[in-house]
């Protein structure tokens, strides 16, 4: 058998999971749906027309999203997770000998989407403290005649948000589409959505997987100009999102006020844990506007193994460039945080 050129070089996205007691490695919410939401979802799922292709539910959800952002449903595209949205953006705007600019270190999938769409990745290094210099992005885009720029803010895995003034500066000074990946925006509060009116090249990508705790349903969306939505839709399969997920996400979105207390809890816990971690000698804590914290520690590899043996799963970056000795810890519930913190502190203090 032979396979498509380049396929063999793609890394396998390893999502095999151990039997974790405390799972802090994928930035999921560690809480299941709020009880009132869960009850409505289960009632709704009992009435699904399983014999029909998905259809009307997608209009319901699009309508809700459009209303919330005061845009038309023609400015909304739903995706099978924002992963699908991002991949289709690489397909729609990339391709052979077409350049796509994004910062590094950032979401590891951008490199992979560039490869599978046969686009050329133009990575732009973040500064030493992981802040982003908007001028470097603009220069890389313009000098390379980029067809797409992608910036994740707040950034995964570094945690910091890019100031909106920098996002606007990029939007204004590049000629190509500019996708802003806002997977963690709910934990930060400041969105680039308002730039949509003024800059037709701006595309906002969002997900239900993080703040809304709906990773299982695989729902994301993008907001963009009508033309961009039309063109990117062409890269999607018909019925690319299933009815169960659409119906679930529509209820979650209608009831999103129910999620506010837990988002506040995650933000408060993030602050508390960042402060506690910073008190431990030998640990560098990077500022975070998300539901996770990136730390640097000389014996990160050993610490990761120690946590693993105690069934506490965090994300280790091994020897990844610019992320050597870094661990990304998703913020859990208060009790979970107390547990992993005690274990981590004990390990570091024993040296
Ligand atoms: C989690 C994540 C996504 C993808 O989320 P989906 O589950 O596919 O919606 C996209 N971008 C970033 C930066 C993420 O961390």
* Residue-wise pLDDT tens digits, 186-198: 999 999 999 999 9
156 and 105 in a common domain: yes
Residue 143 burial class via C-beta count within 10 angstroms: exposed 0-12, middle 13-18, buried 19 and up: exposed
- 17: pLDDT strictly greater than 90: no
pLDDT higher for 258 or 318?
258
Q: Which of 234, 254, 274 is the last residue of a domain?
A: 254
Question: Domain containing 319 — which CATH number?
Answer: 3.90.1150.10
Read off the pLDDT band of 5 (50, 70, 90): confident
Atom 5 (ligand 1) nearest CA: 82
User: Both 230 and 103 in a single domain?
Assistant: yes
Do residues 237 and 316 both lie within one domain? no
Q: Are residues 199 and 346 in the same domain?
A: no
Helix (H) or strand (E) holding 302: helix 300-309
311 and 245 belong to one structural domain: no
pLDDT at position 90 is: 98
Task: Give domain status of residue 8, yes or no.
Answer: no
Residues 19 and 113 in one domain: no
Task: Determine the Cα–Cα distance for residues 244 and 237; give it in Å rounded to an integer.
Answer: 17
DSSP of 70-96: T--GGGEEEEEHHHHHHHHHHHHH--T
Q: H/E element holding 31?
A: none
Q: Is the CB of 215 under 6 A from ligand 1?
A: yes
For residue 320, the CA-to-ligand 1 centroid distance in Å is 19
Cβ–ligand 1 distance for 209 under 6 Å, the answer yes
Sign of CA dihedral 17, 21, 26, 29: positive
Which residue among 82, 205, 206 is best mutated to probe the pocket of ligand 1, counting the most ligand atoms within 8 A of its Cβ? 82
pLDDT at res. 319: 86
Among 193, 226, 254, the domain boundary falls at 254
In 3D, which of 270, 267, 290, 266 has the Cα closest to residue 278?
270
> Would you state the pLDDT for residue 184?
98
Q: Is residue 1 part of a domain?
A: no
Report how far residue 209's alpha carbon sits from residue 221's, in angstroms, rounded to the nearest whole number.
Answer: 11
Cβ–ligand 1 contact at 107 (below 6 Å): yes
Percent of the chain surpassing pLDDT 90: 93
269: tokens are 């816990």
Ligand 1 pocket: which of 13, 15, 81, 206 to mutate (most atoms within 8 A of CB): 81
Ligand 1 close to Cβ of residue 191 (< 6 A): no
Q: Which among 254, 270, 294 is the end of a domain? A: 254
Cβ(26) – ligand 1 distance below 6 Å: no
The answer to whether 188 and 154 are in contact (CB under 8 A) is yes
Give, for ligand 1, the residue of 13, 26, 83 to mutate: max count of ligand atoms closer than 8 Å to Cβ.
83
| 43 within some domain | yes
pTM of the model: 0.97
Q: 303 and 228 in one domain?
A: no
pLDDT per residue as tens digits for the range 231-247? 999 999 999 999 999 99
In this predicted model, what pLDDT tens digit does every residue of 152-181 receive, in sequence order? 999 999 999 999 999 999 999 999 999 999
What domain range includes position 149?
A: 35-254
In this predicted model, what pLDDT tens digit does every residue of 76-104 receive, in sequence order? 999 999 999 999 999 999 999 999 999 99
| CA–centroid distance, residue 348 to ligand 1 (Å) | 31
Residues 6+ apart with CB under 8 A from 14: none
Exposure on the CB side of residue 32, measured as CA atoms within 13 A? 5
**Which ligand 1 atom is at minimum distance from the Cα of 215?**
7
pLDDT of residue 56: 67
Mean pLDDT of 37-49: 96
Contact 239, 54 (CB under 8 A): yes
Burial class from Cβ neighbours inside 10 Å (0-12, 13-18, 19+) for residue 63 reads middle
């Amino acid at each position: 058998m032979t396979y498509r050129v380049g396929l063999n070089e793609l890394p396998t996205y390893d999502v095999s999971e151990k039997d974790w007691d405390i799972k802090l490695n994928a930035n999921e919410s560690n809480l299941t749906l709020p009880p009132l939401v869960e009850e409505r979802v289960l009632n709704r799922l009992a009435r699904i027309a399983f014999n029909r292709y998905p259809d009307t539910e997608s209009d319901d959800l699009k309508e809700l999203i459009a209303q919330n952002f005061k845009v038309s449903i023609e400015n909304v595209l739903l995706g099978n997770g924002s992963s699908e949205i991002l991949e289709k953006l690489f397909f729609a705007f990339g391709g052979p000998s077409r350049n796509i600019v994004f910062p590094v270190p950032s979401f590891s999938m951008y490199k992979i989407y560039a490869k599978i769409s046969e686009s050329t990745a133009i990575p732009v290094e973040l500064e030493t403290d992981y802040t982003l210099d908007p001028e470097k992005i603009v220069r890389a885009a313009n000098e390379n005649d980029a067809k797409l720029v992608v910036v994740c803010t707040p950034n995964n895995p570094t945690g910091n948000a890019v100031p909106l003034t920098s996002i606007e500066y990029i939007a204004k000074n590049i000629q190509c589409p500019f996708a802003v990946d806002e997977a963690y925006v709910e934990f930060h509060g400041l969105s680039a959505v308002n730039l949509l009116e003024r800059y037709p090249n701006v595309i906002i990508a969002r997900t239900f997987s993080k703040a809304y705790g709906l990773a299982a349903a695989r729902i994301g969306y993008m907001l963009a100009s009508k033309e961009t939505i039309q063109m990117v839709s062409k890269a999607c399969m018909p019925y690319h999102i299933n009815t169960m997920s659409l119906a679930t996400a529509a209820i979650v979105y209608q009831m999103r006020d129910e999620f506010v207390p837990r988002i506040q809890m995650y933000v408060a816990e993030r602050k508390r844990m960042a402060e506690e971690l910073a008190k431990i000698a030998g640990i560098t804590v990077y500022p975070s506007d998300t539901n996770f914290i990136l730390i640097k520690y000389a014996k990160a590899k050993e610490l990761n193994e120690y946590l693993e043996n105690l069934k506490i799963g965090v994300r280790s970056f091994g020897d990844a460039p610019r992320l050597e000795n870094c661990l990304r810890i998703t913020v859990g519930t208060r009790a979970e945080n107390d547990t992993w913190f005690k274990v981590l502190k004990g390990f570091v203090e024993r040296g």
